[in-house]
Amino acid sequence: MELREYLRIILKSWWLILPVTLLSLTVALSFSYLQTPIYEASSKYITGLSAGVGTDPGQFIYAFDTLAGRDRLFNTYCELMKSDSAWNRAQQLLGFDPAAPPVDLRLYTRNCTNLPQSNVLQLIVQGPSPQLVRDLNYALGLVGISKANELYPFFPHSALDAVYLEPIPVSPSHSRDAILGLAIGIVISVTIALLLDNLRSPLERLESQSIRDPLLNTFNDRYFQQRLTEEVNRARIRYRPLSMVFSRLVPNEDFALLPEGVRHALQRSAALYMQNMLREGDLLAYNRKQDYYELLLPETPNHEAKELVTKIHTEIRNQTFRIEQYVSNFTLSSGVVEGSGETLELQTMVQQAAKALEKARSTGENTIVFMRGAPSPFVLDDSTDMDGTTIRADMNEYLQVPVPAVTASTALDTRDATKESRGKAASGGAFVGWDMEDDPGAYDRDYISDWMRDPASDVSNGGGSDLSKMIADLQPMDDSDTNKDKPKGESDSNG
């Protein structure tokens, strides 16, 4: 793995490395400040040769032989000063009873070393009390001098420097502990980050390579976005139409009471049912994050998208899905957006489709909202007038709400009337829903949203906007080319 990759992992895992490092630093400092401070006192002693050695030849030879192995001499002096007998004698000089000292002398340590290339010995005593450390060092030095001079009279042992007490504790070192805590924290956190990345990388690669939703077995949003980008680019280059649909599957009221596995199976069946109604080349995907289905319809102008989505709505509404003893019905709310050629913009189409789906949800169940990805290229300006209908140049959205007529006999039974109307909607326009409050004759009326109709006018009285003429005008380029050479009066009569 390259250094750049390690840096990427570290920067990516800052949220882990920072708290672990700070935690390690906090623990190290807390431990350091909770420790008992240790003070140190030191003194130096020197060993020389007695002046009386030169008068006696025997003593001179003995002294010369001893000096030949002076390392043994200095080690002997150090062992004398560190011995338990010297330690007990030093306590007695301080007025302590070695059998029952007033303080815990096990917390105090002594050490003696021979300074390199010299005849100097250094005695060090450490402990929690600075005053007692200094007194013990002084007393231990006196005992050591006495014992050394008794053992080797020809090599007198004497004090070189007075006892020196360090002004600050030698242990613990807060700065050292802080640095050590930081180092340990960084090592631990970086190790954890690398391990997590190594464990996560295969899973992320598998996830990124997967193009199927794990529960519904449809294509996922990642694959849909990939295909959408490809189809938008292709449609722009070839100036071909492209439609996109966002649909939300709405179950019946009792659906939430079913077991989770059954709910997934029923949704899977509904998704497969929709997939079977699509044409070759169309794509159905599921956006789990937003909880809606995405349909990509290449080479599909608006009127063909209307027929296909209407068919899917009608079939889903009339279909009962069954898993073992469980049954459920679904309805759809859909937003459709269409564009072609240079007017195609990927982000605009996605935003318009989401907006259309939201409008469909707020309008009611089984609603289809159509929206153009850009203003219609057939409307030149706001003043264009077609058979008394004013078409706005900036009109880029509309609701497709044709309502088929119902006979009087079938209108007596609400369910039969609704079913028959849905069946007619399958071959005609999209079925949006019926106002069934108190008026049975409501089945024979058309409903369109207020923003599509002038409230002060009525189409039946010659005013307002004729929805069928407006939709005819909004047909894509491919369908309007057949009538472009006709006289205006003939074209209007057929519209």
| Separation of CA 248 from chain center | 27
Is residue 268 in a domain?
Answer: yes
The residue among 442 and 158 whose pLDDT is bigger is 158
pLDDT of residue 116: 85
pLDDT band at 424 (very low <50, low <70, confident <90, very high): very low
Which CA distances in Å does 289 have to 61, 166, 221, 333, 350? Answer: 99, 67, 9, 17, 15
pLDDT exceeds 70 at position 405: no
pLDDT band at 209 (very low <50, low <70, confident <90, very high): low
pLDDT exceeds 90 at position 284: yes
Encoding tokens for residue 161? 């420097």
Q: Let me know whether 388 and 428 are in one domain.
A: yes
Q: Let me know whether 467 and 427 are in one domain.
A: yes
Q: CA 114, 120, 122 angle in degrees (round to 5)?
A: 60
pLDDT exceeds 70 at position 246: yes
Give the integer Cα–Cα distance in Å for 426 and 320.
17
Percent of the chain topping pLDDT 90:
37
Give the integer Cα–Cα distance in Å for 246 and 275.
14
Domain enclosing residue 476, as ranges: 219-494
Give the integer Cα–Cα distance in Å for 462 and 102.
116
Domain count, the chain: 3
- Helices 14-34 and 174-209, interaxial angle, to 10°? 160
Q: Let me know whether 59 and 153 are in one domain.
A: yes
Q: Among 131-145, 285-299, 339-353, which stretch is predicted with the lowest mean pLDDT? A: 339-353
Q: Let me know whether 353 and 269 are in one domain.
A: yes
pLDDT exceeds 80 at position 376: no
Q: CA 346, 347, 351 angle in degrees (round to 5)?
A: 120
Q: Averaged over 76-102, what is the pLDDT?
A: 89
Give the integer Cα–Cα distance in Å for 439 and 420.
18
The residue among 210 and 457 whose pLDDT is bigger is 210
- CATH number of the domain where residue 75 is located: 3.30.70.1130
- CATH number of the domain where residue 271 is located: 3.30.70.270
Element (H, E) at 11: helix 3-12
Within 8 A by CB and 6+ apart from 417, the residues are 406, 410, 411, 434, 443
- 414-427 in b/e form (b: 16+ CB < 10 A) is eeebbebbbebbbe
pLDDT band at 448 (very low <50, low <70, confident <90, very high): very low
Task: Characterize the bridge pairing of strands 292-298 and 283-287.
Answer: antiparallel
Q: Let me know whether 280 and 346 are in one domain.
A: yes
In sequence order, the β-bridge partners of residue 368 are 334
Is residue 48 in a domain?
Answer: yes
Q: Among 243-252, 289-298, 396-405, 431-440, which stretch is predicted with the lowest mean pLDDT? A: 431-440
Q: What are phi and psi of 111, to 5 degrees?
A: -150, 145
pLDDT exceeds 60 at position 408: no
Q: Which of 209, 228, 262 is the last residue of a domain?
A: 209
Percent of the chain topping pLDDT 70:
69
Give the integer Cα–Cα distance in Å for 88 and 83.
9
In sequence order, the β-bridge partners of residue 241 are 340
Q: What's the mean per-residue pLDDT of the chain? A: 75
Give the integer Cα–Cα distance in Å for 115 and 170.
20
Is residue 181 in a domain?
Answer: yes
Q: Averaged over 309-334, what is the pLDDT?
A: 90
Q: Let me know whether 64 and 27 are in one domain.
A: no
Is residue 99 in a domain?
Answer: yes
In sequence order, the β-bridge partners of residue 389 are 386
- Written as one string, the DSSP assignment of 145-196 is HHHHHHH-TTS-EEEEEEEEE-SS-SB--HHHHHHHHHHHHHHHHHHHHHHH
Element (H, E) at 416: helix 414-427
The residue among 102 and 473 whose pLDDT is bigger is 102
Within 8 A by CB and 6+ apart from 414, the residues are 436
Q: Is 165 exposed, middle or buried (0-12, 13-18, 19+ CB in 10 A)?
A: middle
pLDDT of residue 270: 93
Q: Let me know whether 333 and 414 are in one domain.
A: yes
pLDDT of residue 75: 85
H helices present in 210-220, as ranges:
none
The residue among 301 and 463 whose pLDDT is bigger is 301
Q: Averaged over 262-272, what is the pLDDT?
A: 92
In sequence order, the β-bridge partners of residue 164 are 42
Q: Let me know whether 200 and 344 are in one domain.
A: no
pLDDT band at 134 (very low <50, low <70, confident <90, very high): very high
Encoding tokens for residue 13? 């895992």
What's the one-letter identity of residue 433? G
Is residue 214 in a domain?
Answer: no
pLDDT of residue 207: 64
Q: Let me know whether 153 and 177 are in one domain.
A: no
H helices present in 214-340, as ranges:
221-238, 260-277, 302-318
Task: Characterize the bridge pairing of strands 368-372 and 326-340.
Answer: parallel
Q: Let me know whether 65 and 11 are in one domain.
A: no
The residue among 82 and 402 whose pLDDT is bigger is 82
Element (H, E) at 381: none
Within 8 A by CB and 6+ apart from 52, the residues are 59, 154
pLDDT of residue 180: 95
Is residue 192 in a domain?
Answer: yes
pLDDT exceeds 80 at position 450: no
Within 8 A by CB and 6+ apart from 248, the residues are 291, 292, 293, 332, 333, 334, 357, 361
Q: Let me know whether 379 and 444 are in one domain.
A: yes
Q: Among 36-50, 183-197, 207-221, which stretch is predicted with the lowest mean pLDDT? A: 207-221
Is residue 12 in a domain?
Answer: yes
Q: Averaged over 394-422, what is the pLDDT?
A: 39
Encoding tokens for residue 439? 């008026």
Q: Averaged over 310-334, what is the pLDDT?
A: 90
pLDDT of residue 21: 94
pLDDT of residue 213: 85
pLDDT of residue 267: 92
pLDDT exceeds 90 at position 192: yes
Encoding tokens for residue 458? 């009525």
pLDDT exceeds 60 at position 136: yes
pLDDT exceeds 70 at position 53: no
- 239-260 in b/e form (b: 16+ CB < 10 A) is ebbbbbbbbbbebeeebeebee
pLDDT digits over 360-370, tens only? 888 888 889 98
pLDDT exceeds 90 at position 276: yes
- Written as one string, the DSSP assignment of 132-148 is HHHHHHHHHHHHHHHHH
pLDDT exceeds 70 at position 381: no
Encoding tokens for residue 306? 């209307």
Q: Let me know whether 89 and 192 are in one domain.
A: no
pLDDT exceeds 60 at position 263: yes
**Sign of the torsion formed by the C-alpha atoms of 7, 13, 15 and 19:** negative
Highest mean pLDDT among 197-201, 233-237, 435-439: 233-237
pLDDT of residue 215: 84
pLDDT of residue 48: 74
pLDDT of residue 224: 92
Is residue 106 in a domain?
Answer: yes
